[in-house]
Amino acid sequence: MSDLSRFLSYVLRHRPDAAGLTLDAAGWVDVDVLLAALAAHGHTATPEDLRYLAEDVPGKKRLELRDGRVRAAQGHSVRVDLGLAPVVPPATLFHGTATRFLDRILVDGLRPMSRQHVHLSADRATATDVGSRHGRPVVLLVDAAAMHAGGAAFYRAANGVWLTDAVPPEHLRREV
């Protein structure tokens, strides 16, 4: 199931063309079209598998299912409009990264890189998990209240991930 999850994340976030898919402007594709594309590329999946990945995998929630369609919840490098309205963030949000990236981040801030948004977490534990995917983790605290007061927009994806365009270095501090 993890191979399927990774492949779905890849095609729905970054390379729909790799599976012969075309996403609509909001990133959706019909479930039947997706399942046929998966089968054509050697991945067996059922609607129940998609439902499991969208609803039952603890801590992941990478997919959204609605009205016979599916999309990635966030993390896109292809242009999509998730239709998220700006919301007031918690005073502090968290970003997990690997220690090898820390010096550059403290100089340049957080940028979306190949994605549409910078991804932030509402809790330290999630940020630590994210940071550990790329090496020894370090957690950065984001002064979301000050950013929001200064006009920065924040969005909350369906899976709970907080999104913003960038985080300037003056709004970051390393957790001690």
**What pLDDT digit, counting tens, does each position of 133-176 carry?**
888 999 999 999 999 999 999 999 888 899 999 999 999 999 77
CA pair distance 46, 155, nearest whole angstrom: 31
Looking at residue 22, which CATH number applies to its domain?
1.10.10.970
Which pLDDT score, from 0 to 100, does residue 44 have? 87
Task: Give the domain extent around 13.
Answer: 2-72
State whether 101 and 168 are in the same domain. Answer: yes
User: Which run of H or of E encompasses 131?
Assistant: helix 124-132
**What pLDDT digit, counting tens, does each position of 102-123 carry?**
999 999 999 988 888 999 999 9
CA pair distance 69, 90, nearest whole angstrom: 31
Confidence of residue 6 (pLDDT cuts 50, 70, 90): confident
What is the model's pTM? 0.76
What's the total number of domains in the chain? 2
